[in-house]
Protein backbone atom coordinates (compact mmCIF):
# COMPACT_ATOMS: atom_id res chain seq x y z
CA UNK A 1 0.00 0.00 0.00
CA UNK A 2 3.02 2.33 0.06
CA UNK A 3 3.40 5.08 -2.50
CA UNK A 4 6.40 4.97 -4.78
CA UNK A 5 9.31 7.30 -4.07
CA UNK A 6 8.26 9.47 -7.04
CA UNK A 7 4.68 9.68 -5.73
CA UNK A 8 5.83 10.61 -2.24
CA UNK A 9 8.18 13.25 -3.62
CA UNK A 10 5.35 14.78 -5.64
CA UNK A 11 3.16 15.09 -2.54
CA UNK A 12 5.90 16.75 -0.49
CA UNK A 13 6.76 19.01 -3.42
CA UNK A 14 3.16 20.20 -3.66
CA UNK A 15 3.14 20.92 0.09
CA UNK A 16 6.41 22.85 0.07
CA UNK A 17 5.75 24.74 -3.17
CA UNK A 18 2.15 25.72 -2.39
CA UNK A 19 1.80 29.48 -2.35
CA UNK A 20 -0.88 32.02 -1.52
CA UNK A 21 -1.05 33.62 -4.98
CA UNK A 22 -2.17 37.23 -5.35
CA UNK A 23 -0.57 38.23 -8.69
CA UNK A 24 0.37 36.81 -12.07
CA UNK A 25 -2.97 35.23 -12.94
CA UNK A 26 -3.38 34.37 -16.62
CA UNK A 27 -6.54 35.55 -18.37
CA UNK A 28 -7.74 32.05 -19.21
CA UNK A 29 -10.56 30.33 -17.32
CA UNK A 30 -9.93 26.86 -15.96
CA UNK A 31 -11.28 24.08 -18.12
CA UNK A 32 -14.45 22.54 -16.70
CA UNK A 33 -12.90 19.11 -16.20
CA UNK A 34 -9.97 20.61 -14.29
CA UNK A 35 -12.28 22.70 -12.12
CA UNK A 36 -14.32 19.60 -11.36
CA UNK A 37 -11.16 17.69 -10.36
CA UNK A 38 -10.22 20.44 -7.93
CA UNK A 39 -13.70 20.58 -6.45
CA UNK A 40 -13.73 16.79 -6.15
CA UNK A 41 -10.43 16.95 -4.27
CA UNK A 42 -11.99 19.44 -1.86
CA UNK A 43 -15.12 17.34 -1.48
CA UNK A 44 -12.96 14.30 -0.65
CA UNK A 45 -11.44 15.97 2.41
CA UNK A 46 -11.90 14.46 5.87
CA UNK A 47 -14.86 15.79 7.82
CA UNK A 48 -16.01 15.32 11.39
CA UNK A 49 -18.59 12.54 11.63
CA UNK A 50 -18.37 12.24 7.82
CA UNK A 51 -20.79 15.16 7.68
CA UNK A 52 -19.27 16.73 4.52
CA UNK A 53 -20.36 20.26 5.48
CA UNK A 54 -18.60 22.22 2.73
CA UNK A 55 -20.50 24.04 -0.01
CA UNK A 56 -18.92 25.79 -3.00
CA UNK A 57 -19.89 28.74 -5.19
CA UNK A 58 -17.84 29.25 -8.37
CA UNK A 59 -17.87 32.97 -9.21
CA UNK A 60 -16.97 33.85 -12.79
CA UNK A 61 -19.30 36.78 -13.50
CA UNK A 62 -17.20 39.95 -13.78
CA UNK A 63 -19.86 42.24 -12.31
CA UNK A 64 -20.11 40.03 -9.25
CA UNK A 65 -16.34 39.95 -8.85
CA UNK A 66 -16.23 43.73 -9.15
CA UNK A 67 -18.78 43.98 -6.34
CA UNK A 68 -16.71 41.60 -4.20
CA UNK A 69 -13.63 43.68 -4.97
CA UNK A 70 -15.45 46.73 -3.66
CA UNK A 71 -16.07 44.88 -0.38
CA UNK A 72 -12.36 44.07 -0.22
CA UNK A 73 -11.36 47.70 -0.82
CA UNK A 74 -13.55 48.91 2.05
CA UNK A 75 -12.17 46.28 4.43
CA UNK A 76 -8.62 46.95 3.24
CA UNK A 77 -8.86 50.67 3.99
CA UNK A 78 -10.05 49.86 7.51
CA UNK A 79 -7.27 47.33 8.01
CA UNK A 80 -4.61 49.74 6.73
CA UNK A 81 -5.73 52.35 9.25
CA UNK A 82 -5.02 49.96 12.13
CA UNK A 83 -1.25 50.03 11.52
CA UNK A 84 1.17 52.78 12.48
CA UNK A 85 4.28 54.24 10.88
CA UNK A 86 6.55 51.81 9.04
CA UNK A 87 4.18 48.86 9.31
CA UNK A 88 1.42 50.91 7.65
CA UNK A 89 3.77 51.80 4.78
CA UNK A 90 4.74 48.17 4.37
CA UNK A 91 1.10 47.12 4.42
CA UNK A 92 0.20 49.61 1.70
CA UNK A 93 2.74 48.01 -0.63
CA UNK A 94 1.39 44.48 -0.28
CA UNK A 95 -0.72 42.81 -2.97
CA UNK A 96 -3.45 41.10 -0.96
CA UNK A 97 -5.94 39.79 -3.52
CA UNK A 98 -6.47 38.82 -7.14
CA UNK A 99 -10.26 39.03 -7.29
CA UNK A 100 -10.42 40.68 -10.71
CA UNK A 101 -7.20 39.22 -12.14
CA UNK A 102 -8.20 35.59 -11.59
CA UNK A 103 -10.81 34.43 -14.14
CA UNK A 104 -12.73 32.59 -11.45
CA UNK A 105 -13.22 32.94 -7.71
CA UNK A 106 -14.47 30.32 -5.30
CA UNK A 107 -16.50 30.95 -2.17
CA UNK A 108 -16.30 28.11 0.37
CA UNK A 109 -19.13 27.77 2.86
CA UNK A 110 -19.86 25.47 5.79
CA UNK A 111 -23.19 24.02 6.88
CA UNK A 112 -22.07 23.68 10.51
CA UNK A 113 -25.54 22.68 11.75
CA UNK A 114 -26.15 19.94 9.20
CA UNK A 115 -27.73 16.78 10.56
CA UNK A 116 -25.37 14.72 8.43
CA UNK A 117 -22.96 12.78 10.60
CA UNK A 118 -25.55 12.69 13.41
CA UNK A 119 -23.47 15.05 15.55
CA UNK A 120 -20.57 12.61 15.91
CA UNK A 121 -17.50 14.44 17.20
CA UNK A 122 -19.28 17.78 17.55
CA UNK A 123 -20.81 17.61 21.01
CA UNK A 124 -17.72 18.95 22.77
CA UNK A 125 -16.03 20.63 19.80
CA UNK A 126 -18.71 21.99 17.43
CA UNK A 127 -16.06 24.08 15.66
CA UNK A 128 -14.76 20.89 14.03
CA UNK A 129 -17.42 21.39 11.34
CA UNK A 130 -15.62 24.57 10.27
CA UNK A 131 -12.26 22.81 10.56
CA UNK A 132 -13.60 20.23 8.09
CA UNK A 133 -14.18 22.95 5.51
CA UNK A 134 -10.63 24.22 6.07
CA UNK A 135 -9.40 20.69 5.32
CA UNK A 136 -11.37 20.85 2.06
CA UNK A 137 -9.65 24.11 1.17
CA UNK A 138 -6.21 22.63 1.80
CA UNK A 139 -7.05 19.61 -0.36
CA UNK A 140 -8.08 21.92 -3.20
CA UNK A 141 -4.98 24.09 -2.71
CA UNK A 142 -2.54 21.19 -2.97
CA UNK A 143 -4.36 19.64 -5.92
CA UNK A 144 -4.34 23.04 -7.63
CA UNK A 145 -0.58 23.39 -7.14
CA UNK A 146 -0.02 20.00 -8.76
CA UNK A 147 -2.08 21.20 -11.76
CA UNK A 148 -0.17 24.49 -12.09
CA UNK A 149 -3.13 26.48 -10.76
CA UNK A 150 -2.64 29.31 -8.28
CA UNK A 151 -4.92 29.87 -5.30
CA UNK A 152 -5.14 33.00 -3.17
CA UNK A 153 -7.20 33.28 0.03
CA UNK A 154 -8.80 36.72 0.46
CA UNK A 155 -9.47 37.14 4.18
CA UNK A 156 -9.76 40.94 4.12
CA UNK A 157 -13.51 40.89 3.53
CA UNK A 158 -16.62 41.67 5.53
CA UNK A 159 -18.67 38.43 5.33
CA UNK A 160 -22.09 40.14 5.58
CA UNK A 161 -22.05 41.99 2.21
CA UNK A 162 -20.46 38.95 0.53
CA UNK A 163 -23.30 36.77 1.79
CA UNK A 164 -25.79 39.31 0.48
CA UNK A 165 -24.10 39.53 -2.92
CA UNK A 166 -23.97 35.75 -3.36
CA UNK A 167 -27.43 35.07 -1.86
CA UNK A 168 -25.96 32.86 0.85
CA UNK A 169 -28.62 31.65 3.31
CA UNK A 170 -28.23 32.34 7.02
CA UNK A 171 -27.57 28.73 8.01
CA UNK A 172 -24.28 28.68 6.05
CA UNK A 173 -21.02 30.18 7.33
CA UNK A 174 -18.58 31.85 4.95
CA UNK A 175 -15.22 30.16 5.53
CA UNK A 176 -13.11 31.40 2.62
CA UNK A 177 -13.15 33.47 -0.54
CA UNK A 178 -10.53 32.20 -2.96
CA UNK A 179 -9.07 33.46 -6.23
CA UNK A 180 -7.92 30.68 -8.53
CA UNK A 181 -6.51 30.37 -12.00
CA UNK A 182 -3.46 29.63 -14.08
CA UNK A 183 -0.47 31.79 -13.16
CA UNK A 184 2.67 32.81 -15.00
CA UNK A 185 4.88 31.53 -12.16
CA UNK A 186 4.99 30.38 -8.55
CA UNK A 187 7.26 32.29 -6.19
CA UNK A 188 10.16 30.45 -4.58
CA UNK A 189 9.10 31.69 -1.13
CA UNK A 190 5.93 33.08 0.46
CA UNK A 191 5.21 36.64 -0.64
CA UNK A 192 4.79 37.98 2.90
CA UNK A 193 8.21 36.59 3.77
CA UNK A 194 9.77 37.98 0.61
CA UNK A 195 8.44 41.48 1.28
CA UNK A 196 9.49 41.48 4.93
CA UNK A 197 6.06 41.28 6.59
CA UNK A 198 6.95 38.24 8.71
CA UNK A 199 9.71 35.65 9.08
CA UNK A 200 9.27 31.90 8.94
CA UNK A 201 9.40 30.07 12.28
CA UNK A 202 11.52 26.93 12.39
CA UNK A 203 9.94 23.56 13.20
CA UNK A 204 11.87 23.15 16.45
CA UNK A 205 10.20 26.26 17.86
CA UNK A 206 6.69 24.84 17.57
CA UNK A 207 7.06 21.16 18.54
CA UNK A 208 6.78 19.83 22.10
CA UNK A 209 6.82 16.26 23.38
CA UNK A 210 4.57 14.80 26.08
CA UNK A 211 3.65 18.22 27.48
CA UNK A 212 3.64 21.81 26.25
CA UNK A 213 7.01 23.55 26.46
CA UNK A 214 7.30 27.28 26.99
CA UNK A 215 7.66 29.27 23.79
CA UNK A 216 10.88 31.19 23.19
CA UNK A 217 10.81 34.93 23.73
CA UNK A 218 9.13 36.76 20.83
pTM as predicted: 0.95
Which residues partner with 20 through β-bridges? 151
12-205 CATH fold: NADH Oxidase (3.40.109)
Kindly report, residue by residue over 6-37, the tens digit of the pLDDT: 999 999 999 999 999 999 999 999 999 999 99
DSSP state of 39: H
**Burial (CB count <10 Å: 0-12, 13-18, 19+), residue 192:** middle
Across 101-117, average pLDDT: 97
Question: Are 67 and 126 in contact, with CB atoms under 8 Å apart?
Answer: no
For the chain, the structural domain boundaries read: 12-205
User: How far apart (Å, rounded) are the C-alpha atoms in residues 113 and 151?
Assistant: 28
Amino acid sequence: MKFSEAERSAIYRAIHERRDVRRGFVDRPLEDDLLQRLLAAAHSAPSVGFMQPSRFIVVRDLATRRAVHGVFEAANRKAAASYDDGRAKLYSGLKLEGILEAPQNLCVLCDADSARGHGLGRQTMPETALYSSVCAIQNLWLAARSEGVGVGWVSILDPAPICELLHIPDHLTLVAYLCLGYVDQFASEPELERFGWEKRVGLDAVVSYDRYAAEPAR
